């Protein structure tokens, strides 16, 4: 691992150590749905969810995977002339469809020039044994990353946000994927309703037990066209949303409890202004939040894994 002087394992270091050059993710939308949307497990989706909050303009399910990738590569190529790309299957559950269709789309992505791997966002309850075998075979030639939406390690929270799976299912999914050639990742939302500071810090301890290489964090954001948007309008007291300072303080404590070798891919997500309801952080960019986190770690004289047991 090549470290950049941070007090935690950062994603840029992982990319440099793995590829030796700049590699850019290109987001894709397959048009797939989720089992808590189509009725197989539930309806309405996760209460926080509006996928428009992270889909770029070129990312439209009406376009083929090849076209989305080519448009994304053209977009990023204006700024960076020499780089490779990862096809990022991002929106909704990207293993939740007929397995032959899923395989076809993955192979279509890998056929595009300069695409050297796949990053697949999915749920822990939506990955068949056959698909694990297929992806494991691909991993012998390509970079394959599987990112599971963990969101919370508390079953009461998972039920409240309509995830329609348990944390035990999450643990089992990672066990099935361990040592299969994948870079395994996790996604956590900090600040979901009903979770105390103790609960949030315990997430660090619980995800540290999972066989993950990367972790994405972000604070809860209330966005339009989500169930939480309606809940917030009706009862804002139900939510305990972070200020910038309270989030930086929590995250720096969280880092200290995290297993030292986990790469922290991100600390925040930035919902589009026209969709964001709350909290309002005054337009601070992600890099500005990261700078505050870096500074607070120095002030506390803490670092990733300092309090890990």
Q: How many distinct structural domains can be found in the chain?
A: 1
Q: What is the pLDDT of residue 267?
A: 97
Quick check: is 189 in a domain?
Answer: yes
Residue 129 has a CB neighbour count (10 Å cut-off) of 8
Q: Is residue 188 part of a domain?
A: yes
Q: Do the domain assignments include residue 6?
A: no
How high is the pLDDT of residue 83?
A: 84
Element (H, E) at 134: helix 129-138
Whose tokens are 């600390």? That residue is 267
Q: Are 17 and 1 in contact (CB under 8 A)?
A: yes
Contact 147, 186 (CB under 8 A): yes
**Where in the sequence is the domain holding 241, given as residue range(s)?**
11-300
Is 23 a domain residue? yes
Q: What angle do CA 125, 129, 130 make, to 5 degrees?
A: 125
| Predicted pLDDT of residue 105 | 95
pTM above 0.75, yes or no: yes
pLDDT of residue 192: 97
Write down the pLDDT at residue 78.
87
Which residues of the chain fall below pLDDT 70?
1-4, 51-61, 82
Instruction: List, in sequence order, every residue forming a beta bridge with 25; answer none if it has no partner.
Output: 86
Q: Tell me, what's the pLDDT at 1?
A: 43
In a domain, 4, yes or no: no
The answer to whether position 1 is within a domain reads no
pLDDT at 55: 55
Phi-psi region of 32 (alpha: psi -120 to 50; beta: other; left: phi over 0): beta
The enclosing domain of 63 has a CATH number of 3.20.20.70
Residue 2 lies in a domain: no
137 domain residue, yes or no: yes
How distant, in Å, are the alpha carbons of 31, 45, 55, 59 from that of 62? 8, 21, 13, 9
């Amino acid at each position: 691992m090549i470290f950049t002087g941070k007090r935690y394992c950062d994603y840029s270091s992982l990319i440099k150590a793995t590829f030796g050059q700049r590699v850019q993710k290109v987001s894709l939308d397959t048009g797939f749905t989720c089992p808590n949307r189509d009725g197989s497990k539930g309806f309405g989706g996760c209460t926080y969810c509006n996928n428009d909050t992270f889909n770029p303009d070129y990312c439209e399910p009406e376009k083929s995977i090849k076209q989305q990738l080519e448009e994304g590569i053209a977009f990023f190529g204006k700024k960076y002339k020499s780089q490779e790309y990862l096809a990022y299957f991002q929106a909704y559950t990207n293993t939740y469809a007929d397995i032959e269709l899923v395989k076809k789309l993955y192979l279509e992505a890998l056929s595009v020039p300069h695409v050297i791997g796949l990053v697949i966002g999915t749920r822990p309850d939506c990955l068949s044994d056959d698909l694990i075998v297929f992806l494991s075979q691909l991993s012998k030639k390509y970079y394959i990353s599987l990112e599971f939406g963990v969101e919370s390690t508390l079953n009461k929270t998972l039920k409240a946000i309509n995830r329609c799976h348990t944390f035990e299912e999450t643990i089992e999914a990672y066990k099935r994927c361990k040592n299969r050639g994948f870079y395994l990742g996790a996604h956590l939302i900090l600040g979901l309703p009903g979770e105390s500071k103790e609960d949030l810090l315990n997430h660090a301890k619980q995800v540290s037990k999972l066989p993950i290489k990367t972790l994405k964090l972000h604070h809860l954001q209330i966005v339009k066209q989500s169930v939480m948007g309606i809940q917030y309008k009706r009862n804002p007291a139900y939510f305990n949303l972070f200020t910038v300072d309270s989030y930086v303080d929590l995250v720096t404590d969280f880092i200290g409890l995290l297993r030292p070798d986990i790469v922290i891919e991100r600390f925040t997500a930035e919902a589009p202004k026209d969709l964001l309801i709350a909290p309002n952080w005054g337009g601070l960019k992600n890099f500005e939040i990261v700078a505050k986190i870096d500074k607070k770690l120095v002030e506390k004289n803490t670092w990733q894994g300092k309090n890990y047991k």
